[in-house]
Structure 1
Amino acid sequence: MSSRPTAHRPRKRFGQNFLTDDSVIGRIASAIAPTVTDHIVEIGPGQGALTETLAPSGCQLDVIELDRDLIAGLLASFSIHPRFTLHSADALKFDFASLARGDAQLRVVGNLPYNISTPLIFKLLENATIIRDMHFMLQLEVVQRLAAKPGSKNWGRLGIMTQYQCEVEHLFDVPPEAFDPPPKVQSAIVRLTPWTQNPWPQCDQARLRQVVQACFAQRRKTLRNNLKGLIDSGALEQLGIDPGARAETLELIKFIDITNAINV
């Protein structure tokens, strides 16, 4: 028997599109593969479609829901599970570090509203040391940016900063008809796994963000123009970088090289 709360009218201001396709829900649950030893944090459980597959594992499950009209239904459905805790809060303002216990890392999951997905991912990356992995339903375009490679139109700040801290896996796509109401865009599931041993050279992440942001400030302009005031053409050439190139042609290692050269 389904334990999902009764019907709730999706709210546009919360970016709500509730996942209703059982086969898709099953595929997501299989990708997460929750166990009793896990500490899972679900962002935006909505009507509990995914929560319903996570709670029976016996995992410690904290869910964060902004829409207060959904709280009673979620509590009615899942309070029976002794390790279930509901937080009525805005995920963008939530202190994820407050959930960490000892060496146990968090596993974060969620069907993220499209309007907050990028800032929320950046917020979670700030907490990467306490996170084991993240599984998100996102707009396909966002997943393509997260998993992008140098030379593609999707290569930019989001992919670079995420790949510096995580392995990114585009797992599978989800069609609009899997939701109620159906969104006007394609969706996809992505897995982000923070590196246990970072394969990239160490650098100042705040400065790396500054460099990447400057490089992509005007995509059609050259590195020489976008980095004016941060590093000169001669220094770029010493790093093996063409000052006349555009940022989208650079591999991640080159952004790190620029960052470390500026910090010297």
Structure 2
Amino acid sequence: MGKIKDGKKKGREGGGEGKTGQAMQFNHALGQHILKNPLIVQALVDKSALRNTDTVLEIGPGTGNMTVKMLDKVKRVIACELDPRMVAELQKRVQGSHYQSKLQILVGDVIKTELPFFDVCVANVPYQISSPLVFKLLLHRPFFRCAVLMFQREFAQRLVAQPGDKLYCRLSINTQLLARVDHLMKVGKNNFRPPPKVESSVVRIEPRNPPPPINFKEWDGLTRICFVRKNKTLSAGFNTTGVLLLMEKNYKVQKSVQGEEVPQDFNIKALVDEVLQSSGFKEKRARTMDIDDFMKLLHAFNSAGIHFV
């Protein structure tokens, strides 16, 4: 799902230009760099279009530059932070102020944390959790209004890529199935201290509500197979031994659940070929297919008794 290579981790909003930022050693393994440009912090807040009735989820608040700006505008901020030193700085920053009662801090890894209700998510995301975080948010219930998130530039470009684009991949189509994604702005590496190795971008993610009437696990199983070789024809991709064995196993499990017997002469390869041929997708390539194409393909497989969970 568009894995980020080691070392390509982006800035976390830290202590700005004040004493805290200079005194504290930031943990690069957690993706911590200081976002030194207050205009970028303000732009993230502005583009979130916050309302005074909102509960905001902030992931990786650092020492709280953005947190404080949001506390001024909203009903409540829930900040999720992994580094206990940052938690201490954040608590110290609001202690004794009128912000204290509006701030709730969740200490821990956001990917492993059960998230409460929120209206808007605003985050300067550590690169290594980019993909799991996107899908954790999109599968979160109840629905939130939108998320404004800063990612590594290439990851952001994958999120918004369209069929035929060089960066179009499984991440693109899986995200766009569940949400509308817009690229908002680019953020250069020199806005951080020390500068990270990569450029950043801010995207806005708005969940589709209601969501498409589709089993996402099954959809994800299909796109996983198709995008392993996105430039090859679907016929070539589905005719590898590993894929055929997996699909045969799924087929037999499904028939067993339904109380039906599988004929002794059953041939999964022949059935897959028949589905691809009759649906018109045999010579198609995943890199050029849109959401409607994949929905039609999934329906064709399901109608033939083939599932992907």
Percent sequence identity over matched residues? Answer: 30
Moved more, 231-240 or 80-89: 231-240
C-alpha RMSD of the superposition: 2.0
How far, CA to CA, are the matches of 1:145 and 1:247 in structure 2?
Answer: 15
How far, CA to CA, are the matches of 1:76 and 1:204 in structure 2?
Answer: 45
8 Å CA contact 1:140–1:187 kept in 2: the answer is yes
Q: Secondary structure of the equivalent of 1:131? A: coil
Code of the residue aligned with 1:77 in structure 2: it is R
How far, CA to CA, are the matches of 1:4 and 1:127 in structure 2?
Answer: 36
Structure 1 residue 50: Cα displacement? 1.4
The answer to whether 1:51 aligns with 2:67 is yes
Residues 205/154 of structure 1: CA separation in 2 closer, same or farther (3 Å cut): same
- Tell me the equivalent position of 1:20: 36
How far, CA to CA, are the matches of 1:113 and 1:222 in structure 2?
Answer: 35
Residues 55/175 of structure 1: CA separation in 2 closer, same or farther (3 Å cut): same
Structure 1 residue 52: Cα displacement? 2.2
How far, CA to CA, are the matches of 1:40 and 1:18 in structure 2?
Answer: 22
1:128-153 per-position Cα deviation (integer Å, ceiling 9, x unaligned): 54222111000010110000100112
8 Å CA contact 1:157–1:213 kept in 2: the answer is yes
How far, CA to CA, are the matches of 1:3 and 1:18 in structure 2?
Answer: 8
**Of residues 245, 253, 259 in structure 1, which corresponds to 2:284?**
245
Q: Which has the larger radius of gyration?
A: 2
8 Å CA contact 2:275–2:301 kept in 1: the answer is no
Code of the residue aligned with 1:235 in structure 2: it is V
Question: Deviating runs (4+, > 6 A) in structure 1?
Answer: 2-5
Residues 135/4 of structure 1: CA separation in 2 closer, same or farther (3 Å cut): farther
Query: Mapping of 1:21-40 within 5 angstroms?
Result: 21-40=37-56
Q: Secondary structure of the equivalent of 1:124? A: helix
**Of residues 95, 98, 102 in structure 1, which corresponds to 2:114?**
95
Q: Secondary structure of the equivalent of 2:147? A: strand
Code of the residue aligned with 1:178 in structure 2: it is N
**Of residues 79, 83, 89 in structure 1, which corresponds to 2:102?**
83
Moved more, 207-216 or 69-78: 69-78
Residues 34/69 of structure 1: CA separation in 2 closer, same or farther (3 Å cut): same
Give the TM-score, by structure 2 length: 0.77
Moved more, 212-221 or 81-90: 212-221
Q: Identify, as 1 or 2, the structure richer in helix.
A: 2
Q: Secondary structure of the equivalent of 2:72? A: helix
Equivalences, count: 254
